[in-house]
Amino acid sequence: MTTSFELGQDHIDLRDWVHAFAADVIRPVAAEWDEKEEFPWPVLEEAAKIGIYSLDFWATQALEETGLGIPIAMEELFWGDAGIGLSIVGTTLAAAAVRANGTDQQVGEWAPQMFGSPGDLKLAAFCSSEPDAGSDVGAMRTRATYDEATDEWVLQGTKTWATNGGLADVHVVIAVVDPELRTRGQASFVVPPDTKGLSQGQKFLKHGIRASHTAEVVLDQVRIPGRCLLGGKDRLDERLAGAREGSSGRGQPSMATFERTRPGVGAQAIGIARAAYEIALDYAKTREQFGKPIIENQAIAFMLADMATSIEASRLLVWRAAWMARQGKTFDQAEGSMSKLVAGETAVRVTERAMQILGGNGFTREYPVERMARDAKIYTIFEGTSEIQRLVIARAISGAPIR
Ligand SMILES: Cc1cc2nc3c(=O)[nH]c(=O)nc-3n(C[C@H](O)[C@H](O)[C@H](O)COP(=O)(O)OP(=O)(O)OC[C@H]3O[C@@H](n4cnc5c(N)ncnc54)[C@H](O)[C@@H]3O)c2cc1C
Q: Which atom of ligand 1 is the closest one to the Cα of 90?
A: 8
**What DSSP string runs through 17-41?**
HHHHHIIIIIHHHHHHHHHHTS--H
Rounded to whole angstroms, the Cα distance separating 235 from 256 reads: 15
Give yes or no for residue 257 having a pLDDT over 90: no
Across 87-96, 172-181, 253-262, least confident range: 253-262
Tell me the residue type at 184: R
Strands 198-203 and 186-191: unpaired
- The confidence score (pLDDT) of residue 3 equals 86
Give yes or no for residue 250 having a pLDDT over 90: no
DSSP code of residue 213? -
Q: What residues have CB less than 8 Å from 367, skipping those under 6 apart?
A: 279, 358, 361
Domain positions in the chain are 9-121, 124-244, 253-398
- The confidence score (pLDDT) of residue 290 equals 98
Tell me what the pLDDT averaged over the chain comes to.
95
**What DSSP string runs through 233-288?**
HHHHHHHHHHHHTT------HHHHHHHHHHHHHHHHHHHHHHHHHHHHHHHHHH-E
CATH of domain 9-121: 1.10.540.10
Closest residue by Cα to residue 314 from 387, 361, 263: 263
Output the CA 234–ligand 1 centroid distance in Å.
32
pLDDT digit string (tens) for 111-130? 999 999 999 999 999 999 99
Rounded to whole angstroms, the Cα distance separating 392 from 239 reads: 23
- At 5, is the secondary structure helix, strand, or coil? coil
pLDDT digit string (tens) for 296-326? 999 999 999 999 999 999 999 999 999 999 9
- The confidence score (pLDDT) of residue 403 equals 84
With a 6 Å cutoff on the Cβ, whether 158 touches ligand 1 is no
Q: How many helices (H) and strands (E) does the chain have?
A: 13, 11
pLDDT digit string (tens) for 69-79? 999 999 999 99
- What mean pLDDT is predicted for residues 6-35? 98
Q: What residues have CB less than 8 Å from 127, skipping those under 6 apart?
A: 159, 162, 165, 171, 172, 173, 174, 217
Task: Please tell me the CATH superfamily of domain 253-398, with its number.
Answer: Butyryl-CoA Dehydrogenase, subunit A, domain 3 (1.20.140.10)
With a 6 Å cutoff on the Cβ, whether 385 touches ligand 1 is yes
Give yes or no for residue 389 having a pLDDT over 60: yes
124-244 has CATH 1.20.120.420 classification: no
End-to-end CA separation in angstroms for the chain: 43
Q: Would 9-121 and 124-244 be classified into the same CATH topology?
A: no
Q: How confident is the model at residue 246 (pLDDT cuts 50, 70, 90)?
A: confident
Give yes or no for residue 353 having a pLDDT over 90: yes
Give yes or no for residue 251 having a pLDDT over 60: no
The residue nearest atom 16 of ligand 1, judged by CA position, is 382
Q: How confident is the model at residue 261 (pLDDT cuts 50, 70, 90)?
A: confident
Closest residue by Cα to residue 352 from 208, 163, 214: 208
- The confidence score (pLDDT) of residue 1 equals 72
Q: How confident is the model at residue 231 (pLDDT cuts 50, 70, 90)?
A: very high
Q: Which atom of ligand 1 is the closest one to the Cα of 129?
A: 11
Catalytic residue numbers read: 383
Other CB atoms within 10 Å distance of the CB of residue 321: 28
- The confidence score (pLDDT) of residue 2 equals 79
Q: Which atom of ligand 1 is the closest one to the Cα of 403?
A: 41
Q: Above pLDDT 70, what percent of the chain?
A: 97
What is the phi-psi region of residue 209: left when phi exceeds 0, alpha when psi lies from -120 to 50, beta otherwise?
left
With a 6 Å cutoff on the Cβ, whether 94 touches ligand 1 is no
Give yes or no for residue 167 having a pLDDT over 80: yes
With a 6 Å cutoff on the Cβ, whether 156 touches ligand 1 is no
